[in-house]
Amino acid sequence: MLRIALKMLFRDRAKYAMLIGGLTFCSLLMGQQTSVFCGLMMWTTALVRNIGAQVWVMDAKAEQANEVVALRQIELDRVRSVPGVAWAVPLYVGIEQARLSDGSFQNIQLIGLDTGTFTGRPMRMTEGRIEDLRLPSAVIVDQVAVAKFHKKGITLKIGSVFEVNDKEARVVGICHVARSFLGQPYVYTTFDRAMEFARPQRKLLTFVLVEPLPGLSPEELSARINKLPGLRAVTLDQLFWETAIWYIKNTGIPISFGTVVILGIIVGIGVSGQTFYLFVHDNLRYLAAFKAMGARMPTLAAMVLLQAFFVGFVGYGLGMGLTAWFGSAVLRAEQPPFFMPWQIPVFVAAVILFICTFSAAIGLIKIARLEPAVVFR
């Protein structure tokens, strides 16, 4: 009987193709949009992931990693005095303006690393060495800077020179790091040189990066540092989620992507439900014949469920396959953002399962009310 059910499904090629197409589109829309949303959230936490320190100390009023609230230099010594601190180093993060050789301007995100340890250094250097940052006027640029300068007709390479606030910056290396949410290039230099590049102001320390002593967890050390007035210490994971949740709560990004996902679900339910109902309606005489020959409702229900879940399986596979293909294509260009954790395929599978169950239920209601005598009419 199950083989007959599949033959009935394949025989009506128009409705079969419409069912597969509707579920494929639904899977693609949900998978692609949720993956782009997750990728966008990963962009918002790029600074945290690029630096990678276990404990971050910031101003008590700062709510997320991209909110720069300057600290006094004395705060570094206060943090170092806390029991359990193995070491603590300064970090500068600021938006500055670079003047290119042709006179045009480009906003950059300047990162000032500790001169002695280079804590927070880019993990992947494509050209040059991190140690060359100790050279006069030295900076390291990321792949976004190379691309943006190239669009303006300027080729960035080792030895290239540009200005940051009227001070010379010489490229000694090129790195590859996670892209910033604002799309501004990362430019790395030493903390002392970042103080020279930055606009004059009373407070220039942005974060204090801290490492706990062996045997002390980052959570315990954060609790100790939080006792200092005016400061707030968080672990890497805490800052990651605080930043992502801040953007979810305070921007319209979730509403925009959520609306598209909901529309995809509605389209999937509408197209699949209506098409499957029409498919069952067109095959009522065959189902009535089975009833007249003694087939019970559980057998007919198994046939309908097999048909619904088969098209769901095929549509889900095609949709997620197209999503993966889209992701592999855009990841090479690094935009739009794309990140697909395992929860996304599971979520899409659950929605497709619901749609298939709903569509099958509509058909089963029609079959349950079917009189076997209809076959003789």
Query: What mean pLDDT comes out for the span 38-60?
Result: 90
Are residues 112 and 23 part of one domain? no
Instruction: Work out the pLDDT band at 100, boundaries 50, 70, 90.
Output: confident
Does 74 lie in the same domain as 218? Answer: yes
For 160, phi and psi rounded to 5 degrees?
A: -65, 150
The answer on 239 and 257 residing in a single domain is no
Q: Quick one: 239 and 257 in the same domain?
A: no
Residues 240 and 261 reside in one and the same domain: no
Burial of 110 (0-12, 13-18, 19+ CB in 10 A): buried
Asked if residues 171 and 177 have their Cβ atoms less than 8 Å apart, the reply is no
pTM of the prediction?
0.82
Q: Beta strands 125-128 and 167-175: pairing type? A: antiparallel
Tokens 């709903």 locate to 358
* 82 and 9 in a common domain: no
Residues 154, 179: one domain?
yes
Judge if 20 and 156 occupy the same domain: no
Give the pLDDT confidence score for residue 293 in this predicted structure.
62
Domain span at residue 161 reads 46-250
Q: Which residue has the tokens 């609790």?
A: 223
As a whole number, mean pLDDT of residues 148-174 equals 87
Per the structure block, which two tokens stand in for 356? 């298939």
Where does a domain end: 250, 277, 296? Answer: 250
Q: Do 12 and 58 have their domain in common?
A: no
Average pLDDT for 51-65: 89
pLDDT band for position 88 (cuts 50, 70, 90): very high
Q: Would the pLDDT of 55 be above 90?
A: yes
Q: Do 192 and 51 fall into the same domain? A: yes
Pairing of strands 138-142, 167-175: parallel
Examine the pLDDT at 128 and tell me if it is beyond 70: yes
- Pick the last residue of a domain from 219, 250, 281: 250
Q: Are 31 and 69 found together in one domain?
A: no
| Cis-peptide into 336, omega within 30 deg | yes
* Number of structural domains found in the chain: 2
Where does a domain end: 250, 265, 292? 250
User: b or e along 292-311 (b: 16 or more beta carbons within 10 Å of the residue's beta carbon)?
Assistant: eeebeeeebbebbbbbbbbb
Q: Please check the confidence at residue 372 and state whether its pLDDT lies above 70.
A: no
Of residues 284 and 152, more confidence is placed in 152
> Quick one: pLDDT band at residue 198, thresholds 50, 70, 90?
confident
Q: Is the pLDDT of residue 139 over 90?
A: yes
